[in-house]
Amino acid sequence: MGFNFKEMYSFLLSHTFPGLLLLVEILLFLRSTAYPDIFVSPLPDKYIAILILAGYAFSTLLGTMLDGIQHSIFDLFIDPGTDKERIRKKFMAIKDNKDMEVYKHFIEDDFWYPYEAYANISIAIFLGLILLGCEKFPIFTPSLRFWLGAGIISCITLAALSYEAWRTYTFCSDEEEQFSDVYSKKDRLMFKVEVVHVINENFIDDIVRIDQGSCPPSWPKINFSKILKEENNVRIILKDDGIIVGYLLAVPHNNARKDLENDDPLIREDVLRYYIESVAILPAYRGKDGLSEMLEMLIKELRKKGIYKLSMHARVSNKFSNFIQRKMKVTQIRKIDGWKYYNYEEPTDYIEATFE
């Protein structure tokens, strides 16, 4: 990456110059309040260069602070609620190799720098007016006027930058989620998700194979044979090139409650809820959004039944609990230590969630 005079000039225009303006305002405010002799002390010539560099650095720091305030104001009042859609369009354009010139315009062109320069200068002037108002305040002594001005400016800056820090964190989290959703679609293409209605021995053997290869110890085949054949259960499978590599089994909530009431006595009856009994994907096929695909298919099937609520005991160690909490609207969650079905060695989260 070479040195770019154009970018340096743009940054000086949008950050350093507004910061220099604010620095002058602060120095004038200090002279008229707490430090009247701030410009009087002579400075040896050999320190002039150091003073210029320090002024440049401090001006840039103040300009960056102004830029943070400007972004927080913009996010809070002018551009609310559009980040996720903008991110999604950005990654879709990059993924599909379309409209890249649109994004190059924002990255390489001069559009943002003049806009930021105007906005940052306006904020510097506004802060200067606050300092001027504190300086001319007729009641307090110069010392108290100094602390009044410093306190107001500090509060405004701290509030704005704290908000912008939170917005940046949220934006990055959204960007990461959108990145994952968009790019995982490439991997989704290798999968086929199906609802199974006809149960035979080959299907049962496949489910046993996946369960044993995913999360041993597994149920005996006779247990799978019984539960897979129950009429009201929903059986979702994940296929790669015709081979079953994952499955999800959901049963009526009250049926699961009968089996689990001794292990989890806090489960309550609910005829309008389904329970995720078991879910597994072979290790080689994980991380490719197959679980999301099966969950989406399950939700689609439950909607047909007029069901909009799910429950489950979600494993914590494999982050299934975190996955459900991200994907669905959780209405209840409680932790159970030493879950029986993990040989009392791991905790589980009992989760109740809804969907539309």
Mind listing the pLDDT tens digit for each residue in 137-191?
Answer: 777 777 787 788 888 888 877 777 777 667 666 666 665 665 565 555 544 446 8
Contact 129, 25 (CB under 8 A): no
Q: Which residues contact 179 (CB under 8 A, 6 or more apart)?
A: 91
For strands 243-252 and 274-281, give the pairing: antiparallel
Strand segments (E) across the chain: 191-195, 234-240, 243-252, 274-281, 309-315, 329-336, 348-354
What pLDDT is attached to residue 114?
Answer: 66
What pLDDT is attached to residue 99?
Answer: 47
Contact 91, 52 (CB under 8 A): no
Report the amino acid identity of residue 193. V
Coil, strand, or helix at residue 223? Answer: helix
Q: Report d(CA 249, CA 212) in Å as an integer.
A: 15
All structural domains of the chain: 5-185 (no CATH), 191-354 (3.40.630.30)
What pLDDT is attached to residue 110?
Answer: 45
What pLDDT is attached to residue 288?
Answer: 81
Contact 124, 25 (CB under 8 A): yes
Instruction: Check residue 277 and give left, alpha or beta (phi > 0: left; psi -120 to 50: alpha).
Output: alpha
Residues in the chain where the model's pLDDT stays below 50: 1-3, 80-81, 95, 97-100, 102-111, 186-189
What pLDDT is attached to residue 267?
Answer: 93
